[in-house]
Amino acid sequence: KMTVKDVDLKGKKIIMRVDFNVPQDKKTGAITDDTRIKAAIPTIDYILKNNPKKLILMTHLGRPDGQVKETLRLDPVAQRLQELIKTPVRKLNDCVGPEIAKAIDASPEKVILLENLRFHAEEEENDPAFAKQLASLADTYVNDAFGTAHRAHASTEGVAHDLPAVAGFLLDKEIEYLGKSLEQPDKPFAVILGGAKVSDKIGVIENLLTKAQVLVIGGGMAYTFLKAQGIAIGNSKLEKDKIDLAKETLQKAKKAGVKVILPVDHLVVDNIDTPTKIETTKDAAIPDGMIAVDIGPKSIALFCDTLKSAKTICWNGPLGIFENDKYAKGTKEVATFITTLKAKTIIGGGDTASAVAKFGLESKMTHISTGGGASLEFMEGKVLPGIAALKDKQ
């Protein structure tokens, strides 16, 4: 295992891929959550302490699809980074080319942030020539972008072939926590899955059937599972074309001896945005015309009771529409409950991480992943190209 600790940094130009793909306010462009920037700081601080010639940071922001988009420039990110590391950051207006190479060498600031990599289509195409251009800017490559490790792009995969390449502390920590929890979990190992779509989580379920003892399912995806069991779901979210898959999954789980826990009651509304009726159902069935937006109190009790003996809990996907305070109770209570257990609690990134942050429970979880899609693919047992490229070097 090679990390930034295993390479010589002194006097070297270090290029580091980070995932500063942070959420922004649509109107003002202000960064609304800087967790991902903060998460890279231990590696940044470590590198700077070791006196490199330059630390060149690179990231994507959003999906500009190979075009320069003014709203997706990295200036606000550079600003925030500078505040957080208390060190001046020189932000450049492109990421490759002779001018950029010159600007790096001429920069009085040690820390440099290149412009959004995805302004060049070659980044997502993993174009070898583009990767070489990035590589030519530095002596050593560090990958600390766990959130983008599931993408085989020039800055996450390609460049690792052209330079000495090692992991940063964040990438290393993510692999450690997610990997351990899946490979050698303290048992019982319980998995909580939620979020809108069955199709997003089916790969995770397949992979975990051989590892977990309990699967707790809530959120939008639960209704397709309930429907598969012949339970009425009113106007709740349904993936019609996934009913058979849900049935099969339930059968497979049974065969594998994995307990599957679904909601036994719900919070339902007549309209999600402007409800005139908000009710709790008496059982798992959802009345005609009503839409489930959260798990109900009996489900909260059942989920907590199921989870109380777990030694490892992995959670990916909220249990209701937690962004709306009225529909956040299920996600909040279950999240709060698991922090009281002696279990290892591993939170997948994306929405689940936002939910945990919203409830102020971050410091009480064992690990919160900075990867949304990446943590999901990791839980699916997939090889992440950004990690594989580093392993190939060793």
Q: Which is nearer to ligand 3PG, 189 or 378 (CB)?
A: 378
- Does the protein bind ligand 3PG through residue 64 (CB under 6 A)? no
Residues 347-376 that bind ligand 3PG (CB under 6 A): 372-373
- Does the protein bind ligand 3PG through residue 385 (CB under 6 A)? no
Q: Which residues are catalytic?
A: 36, 197, 350, 373
The amino acid that residue 29 corresponds to is G
Tokens of 283: 């059982």
Does 201 carry a binding-site annotation?
yes
CA distance 181 to 262: 23
Whats the size of the chain, residue-wise? Answer: 394
Does 17 carry a binding-site annotation?
no
Contact 185, 178 (CB under 8 A): no
Residue nearest to ligand 3PG (CB): 21
Does 384 carry a binding-site annotation?
no
DSSP symbol at 370: S
Taking the complex as a whole, the smallest distance from the CB of residue 19 to ligand 3PG amounts, in Å, to 5
- Binding segment for ligand 3PG (CB under 6 A), chosen from 69-77, 143-151, 157-165, 303-311, is 143-151
Does 73 carry a binding-site annotation?
no
Q: At what angle do helices 198-208 and 243-256 cross, to 10 degrees?
A: 20
Does 36 carry a binding-site annotation?
yes
CA distance 181 to 33: 26
Q: Which is nearer to ligand 3PG, 194 or 371 (CB)?
A: 371
Q: Which is nearer to ligand 3PG, 60 or 173 (CB)?
A: 60
Q: For residue 124, give every residue at least 6 positions away whose Cβ sits within 8 Å of its Cβ, in sequence order, or none.
A: 66, 118, 151, 153, 154
Binding residue for ligand 3PG, selected from 116, 133, 140, 148, defined by CB under 6 A: 148
Is the torsion defined by CA of 35, 176, 314, 338 positive or negative? negative
- Does the protein bind ligand 3PG through residue 151 (CB under 6 A)? yes
Is the torsion defined by CA of 185, 186, 190, 195 positive or negative? negative
Q: Helices marked H in the chain — which ranges?
A: 35-49, 75-85, 98-106, 121-124, 128-135, 169-183, 198-208, 221-228, 243-256, 297-307, 329-339, 351-358, 373-379, 385-392
Q: Which is nearer to ligand 3PG, 22 or 208 (CB)?
A: 22
Q: Which is nearer to ligand 3PG, 154 or 267 (CB)?
A: 154
End-to-end, the C-alpha distance of the chain in Å comes to 8
User: Based on the number of CB atoms within 10 Å of its own CB, is 106 exposed (0-12), middle (13-18) or buried (19 or more)?
Assistant: exposed
- Does the protein bind ligand 3PG through residue 19 (CB under 6 A)? yes
Taking the complex as a whole, the smallest distance from the CB of residue 191 to ligand 3PG amounts, in Å, to 20
Binding residue for ligand 3PG, selected from 14, 73, 137, 147, defined by CB under 6 A: 147
Does 200 carry a binding-site annotation?
no
- Binding segment for ligand 3PG (CB under 6 A), chosen from 147-155, 229-237, 311-319, 338-346, is 147-155
CA distance 357 to 364: 11
Is the torsion defined by CA of 216, 150, 181, 379 positive or negative? positive
Taking the complex as a whole, the smallest distance from the CB of residue 21 to ligand 3PG amounts, in Å, to 3
- Binding segment for ligand 3PG (CB under 6 A), chosen from 82-90, 146-154, 191-199, 306-314, is 146-154
CA distance 131 to 297: 53
- Does the protein bind ligand 3PG through residue 120 (CB under 6 A)? no
- Does the protein bind ligand 3PG through residue 63 (CB under 6 A)? yes
Q: Which is nearer to ligand 3PG, 164 or 373 (CB)?
A: 373
- Binding site feature residues for ATP: 201, 323, 349-352
* Residues found near ligand 3PG in the complex (CB under 6 A): 19, 21, 63, 147-148, 151, 372-373
